[in-house]
Amino acid sequence: MEMLKRPRRLRGSEVLRKMVRETRMDKSSLIYPLFVKDGNNLEEEIPSMVGQFRYSVDRMPYELERLQKAGVNSVMFFGIPDVKDEVGSQAYAEDGIVQRALQEARKQFPDMYLITDVCMCEYTSHGHCGILCGHDVENDKTLEMLSKTALSHVQAGADMVAPSDMMDGRVEAIRRTLDQAGHKETPIMSYAVKYASAFYGPFRDAAGSAPSFGDRKSYQMDPHNSREGIKEALLDVDEGADIIMVKPALAYLDMITKVSDVTNVPIAAYSVSGEYAMVKAAAANGWMDEERTICEMATSTYRAGASIYLTYFAKELARFMDEGRIG
Ligand code: PBG
C-alpha cells in the first residue's frame, strides 16, 4: 500500500522512541510530602497510605537522608501536633512541630530545599482550615493566622511556603507579612486551584484533619468548574504567588494545561494521597503494574504542563529516572 506518512516509523525502537520524546522529566522537579509528628522515636505507617510514615523529629533525619540519597532534594512538611485547639495555635507556635522539624532539617541538611504547607486544618480541634464563626470559616480573621504561621515557618528555616487553605486574599496577606519582616526573597507556592476532592481521604486519615462537621466546599473549589480555576490562578499571580499549584493532579490534568496556558509562572501539580492509595491497593491485589502506573501518572502530569510534581512516589520516580525507565 502506498502511504507517505506512517506515524509508526518513529516508534520502531526504544532508542528512537526516546529520541522523539516530547516530555522529559528530571529529579530536580520532584517534591516529597513529609509528615512530621509530635513525640519521640516514632515511625508510624499510615494505614491508608501503605509505605508512607509519620515521623517524629528525631526519626525524620533518616528519611531525609534516604530522600537525599535518591536524589530528591525538596520536601514539603505537614505537621501533626499532639494538641489541637479552636484557633490552631500550634500552627504558629515557635516550638510547634513543623518549626522544630525545620530547625532540625536545616541544621542537618543545609542543602535540602524545605517547603511548608501552610494551613490550619491539622491544628484546629474542629478540623477546618481556619477560624470559625458559627459553622463557617471566617476568611479575614484566618488570614492573620495564616500569615503568622507562614512567617514562623520562614523564621524556623523554611525556604518556601505553600498556603493550602483556599481563603481569599491569603497570598497577598502572607506576601506582605513576609516582606515586612524582611523576607522579600522567600517564594510562595500557592495551592491556587485546589478542588474539594474525595482524593484527600487518606491524607485526612494520616493527619487526623477530617472536619468534625460539614465539609470544605465553602472554601475549596467545586470539581465541576474550570473557568473558576483560571480566576483563582490569575488572582494569586496578581497577589504575588511565584508558583501556582493544581491539586489533585490526575483527575485535573485539563486544569494543569489551562492554567499553564494563561499564566507565565511555573505550574506545580500535587498527586494526592488518594491517587497514591489507589495505585497501592490495585498493585497489592495484582490488578495493575505499580511501576508502570506510577510512571504513566507522572508522565501525564508533566505532559499536561506541570514542571513541578509533588508526589508520595518521589523516591520511586527518582530511581526510575536514574535507571532510564522514565523521563
Ligand atoms: C491541608 C492540605 C490537605 C492536603 C494538602 N494540604 C488536606 C485537605 O485539604 O483536606 C491533601 C494532600 C493529600 O491528599 O495528599 N489543607
DSSP codes of every residue in 51-81? EEEEEETTTHHHHHHHHHHHT--EEEEEEE-
Q: Residue 105 and residue 206: Cα distance in Å, rounded? A: 21
Query: Active-site residue among 69, 141, 184, 194?
Result: 194
Query: Active-site residue among 37, 84, 247, 315?
Result: 247
Query: If you take atom 6 of ligand 1, which residue's CA is the nearest one?
Result: 164
CA of 210 to the centre of ligand 1 (A): 10
Q: Measured from the CB, is residue 275 less than 6 Å from ligand 1?
A: no
Q: CA-CA distances (angstroms) from residue 222 to 31, 120, 195, 212, 296?
A: 26, 21, 6, 20, 26
Q: Measured from the CB, is residue 313 less than 6 Å from ligand 1?
A: no
Domain boundaries, given as residue ranges, for the chain? 26-322
Phi/psi at 36 (5° precision): -115, 145
Q: pLDDT (tens digit, 0 to 9) for every residue of the chain, 327 residues total?
A: 899 999 999 999 999 999 999 999 999 999 999 999 999 999 999 999 999 999 999 999 999 999 999 999 999 999 999 999 999 999 999 999 999 999 999 999 999 999 999 999 999 999 999 999 999 999 999 999 999 999 999 999 999 999 999 999 999 999 999 999 999 999 999 999 999 999 999 999 899 899 999 999 999 999 999 999 999 999 999 999 999 999 999 999 999 999 999 999 999 999 999 999 999 999 999 999 999 999 999 999 999 999 999 999 999 999 999 999 998
The conformation of residue 197, written as its DSSP 8-state character, comes to -
- Return the percent helix, strand and coil in the chain, to nearest 5: 45, 20, 35
CA of 12 to the centre of ligand 1 (A): 42
**The three cell numbers locating residue 274:** 488518594
What is the model's pTM?
0.97
Q: Residue 206 and residue 277: Cα distance in Å, rounded? A: 12
26-322 CATH: 3.20.20.70
Q: Measured from the CB, is residue 162 less than 6 Å from ligand 1?
A: no
CA of 212 to the centre of ligand 1 (A): 15
Closest by alpha carbon to 139, among 244, 214, 61, 219?
219
Query: If you take atom 14 of ligand 1, which residue's CA is the nearest one?
Result: 200
Which atom of ligand 1 lies nearest, measured to the CA of 273? Answer: 15
CA of 104 to the centre of ligand 1 (A): 24
Which atom of ligand 1 lies nearest, measured to the CA of 129? Answer: 16
Active site residue 148: no
Q: Measured from the CB, is residue 273 less than 6 Å from ligand 1?
A: yes
Query: If you take atom 5 of ligand 1, which residue's CA is the nearest one?
Result: 164
Active site residue 141: no
- H/E stretch holding 284 reads helix 273-284
